[in-house]
Structure 1
Amino acid sequence: MSDKKNTFLFPSQPFLSGKPYWVQLVVLFFLTLFCMILFSATSGIAARIIYGNDILEAPTASFYRFVQFFNAVGTFLVPALLFAFLLERKWFSFNLACRSIHQPAVVALILLLSFALLPVIGLLVTLNGMIHLPDSWAAVEQWMTKHEQASTLVLETMLNDTSVAILLLNLFLCAVLPALCEEFFFRGTLQQLFQRWFGNAHVAIWSTAFIFSAIHLQFGGFFARWLLGAYLGYLFWWSQSLWLPILAHLLHNAISILLQFFISQSGITLPQETSLSAQLPVALLSLSLCAGLIFMVHKLLKSREPETTE
């Protein structure tokens, strides 16, 4: 009798093993939805206990940081790990988090790329701002614009304190945590699933990058984030390790936060907008540099297999 119970609770095969890919995708979707609702409700209750019932009327930077932690972990990291366990009964195998890379030259190139990409991303944001959805989608565009403005306000509130202690906390919450959680979900889970399903790495990379950008609900930076997602996807594919895109994602976020911090500390006032004609030469030069650096990264990763640790 006990053997039958154990077989029911712990079947010989993982729950998702051998299931069609569309079934796996549906399970991932509902798993993500469930975790998002659960963690959102939990953080909401906890926030009212800690900050008081009227916190939503006048939210503080501390409250935003609290919610940011729960949202990142609950929406991305927990569903990704649970999906990996349901698929292979291992937490860090399917998502290739069990593999590491010991190539200092690659790490150095990724750091250079994080700076070199900034003008390209800036140009894409400018071009994105010139594009508008059809009139029939005007309401959607307005809603996404309002969401983007609200997200920007939240970020500015979190980064407004210029003390070193808060800077370190912001780097963890806005750079380290999103990089870790989002890469486990998008590259480590969704891209892996798409690649097995479609049998084409390029389709998997660009499809995942599209969803990665769309899920942020920020139309103004859609194409820039799509390109960034593809860049992270190729790093994941070439290295066969989740830690390289995590590093690249972390550096991209951290550089933006640090630049804003040092600009604020120095008292420099930057122009609100830069003309397209002024951005274009710098962005084209930057794009050429990025192409060369990416070629070098690809060559180095191709010449050496990543170390596997089971």
Structure 2
Amino acid sequence: MTVYSELIPLSSRKPLVQFVVSMLLILLISAAGLLITLLTAWLIFGIVPGEVDIWQESLNAKHINYFKYLQTFQHLSMFLLPSVAIAFFMKGDAHTYLGLKNKPGLTSVSLSILFIILIIPLNSYLSWFNARLDLPGWLEGLENWMTNKESQSERLTIILMGAGSVGALLINIIIVALIPAVGEEFLYRGVLQEIFTGWLKSGDMAVILTALLFSAAHLQFYGFLPRFILGLGFGYIYLWSGNIWLPVLAHLVNNLIPLILSYFMGWENVNRTMDEFSARDIFIVAIPALIALLILFNIRKEGLRDN
């Protein structure tokens, strides 16, 4: 047992204590990571915070690389590093707590990938539906704030997904697809869902609560429903398989699909398809969604067999 795990043996504390300490670690590591990221970005690119606006029409290669640098290291400090630190304090060994040495079976891998592919039509429909929800008039200020956040996220996505070569695409795969998939699943499913399971004494409630946090934390109201459904999918894959690498893989595939499509088609063309759905399309998306649900139950069967 290490000195640190003796000092803070989180796994032996009450779930509420685990949650509070975890939140503190996330805040501390994120704040320190942000300061270090901004300082190193200034040293590398010569750009101070606020000097470059994402809405600038004259963004050059240095500006784009600057935003990619910020995105990468902010994400590492907000998700991956805190999740590893929390897992370490839980048991003194992050590998053991997160189950990083557990190899998923080929069948479970295939089912997880197929699940994500089949859930795409439902999430596209939910994106269309969610984007058309209006808040009451007395919440106009909040709606304007959410609309601005959505526009900023859309603009940043366009900047990050721009790739004029295969090499740039590979870098984008690491920044936009791989790092978020690993970091977010380690934190949300590997850490928070585990804490909530012990706290609520219910795996289902833990999956739902974690999915709500997962969606809300992105601060994109008009994408809340599809991201919540994804969170449920990732959560149940983890709950029923007991293997963190399966939701990581599913998350990675989910990130890869629009990234690769945007490389060949352009992000604007990919995004435009979201606006082509109408209410009658719910009947079209229902069939693959039901098949995806059946696949989830098959993942559960595989998990019971493997464990």
Q: What TM-score, normalized by structure 1, do the two folds share?
A: 0.88
Distance 1:195 1:43 in 2: 34
* Cα contact 2:173–2:256 (8 A) shared by 1: yes
% of aligned pairs identical? 28
1:271 deviates by 5.4
Distance 1:32 1:255, change over 3 A: same
Distance 1:277 1:9, change over 3 A: closer
Count of aligned residue pairs for this structure pair: 297
Distance 1:36 1:48 in 2: 18
Query: Is 2:243 the partner of 1:241?
Result: yes
Name the counterpart of 2:47: 53
Stretch moving more, 129-138 or 210-219: 129-138
* Cα contact 2:98–2:244 (8 A) shared by 1: yes
* Cα contact 1:77–1:185 (8 A) shared by 2: yes
User: Could you say which structure has the higher helix fraction?
Assistant: 2
Name the counterpart of 2:57: none
Name the counterpart of 1:286: 288
Stretch moving more, 293-302 or 206-215: 293-302
Stretch moving more, 75-84 or 124-133: 124-133
Distance 1:190 1:30 in 2: 13
Match of 1:37 among 31, 36, 39: 31
Q: What TM-score, normalized by structure 2, do the two folds share?
A: 0.89
Distance 1:17 1:277 in 2: 47
- 1:187-206 matches, within 5 Å, as 187-206=189-208
Distance 1:214 1:9, change over 3 A: same
Task: State the superposition RMSD in angstroms.
Answer: 2.4
Query: Is 2:156 the partner of 1:154?
Result: yes
Which structure has the greater CA radius of gyration? 1
1:270 deviates by 5.1
1:23 deviates by 1.7
* Cα contact 1:99–1:240 (8 A) shared by 2: no
Name the counterpart of 2:218: 216
- Cα deviation per residue 1:231-257 (whole Å; 9 max; x = unaligned)? 001110111111110000001001111
Distance 2:192 2:298 in 1: 27
* Cα contact 1:14–1:89 (8 A) shared by 2: no
Stretch moving more, 221-230 or 152-161: 152-161
Distance 1:26 1:271, change over 3 A: closer
Query: Is 2:108 the partner of 1:78?
Result: no
Distance 1:270 1:90 in 2: 46
Give the aligned residue type for 2:72.
F
* Cα contact 1:113–1:293 (8 A) shared by 2: yes
1:278 deviates by 5.2
* Cα contact 2:33–2:74 (8 A) shared by 1: yes
Name the counterpart of 2:140: 138
Unaligned runs of 5+ in 1: 1-6, 306-310
Q: Which runs of 4+ in 1 moved over 6 A?
A: none
Distance 1:215 1:8, change over 3 A: closer
Unaligned runs of 5+ in 2: 54-62
Distance 1:269 1:197 in 2: 39
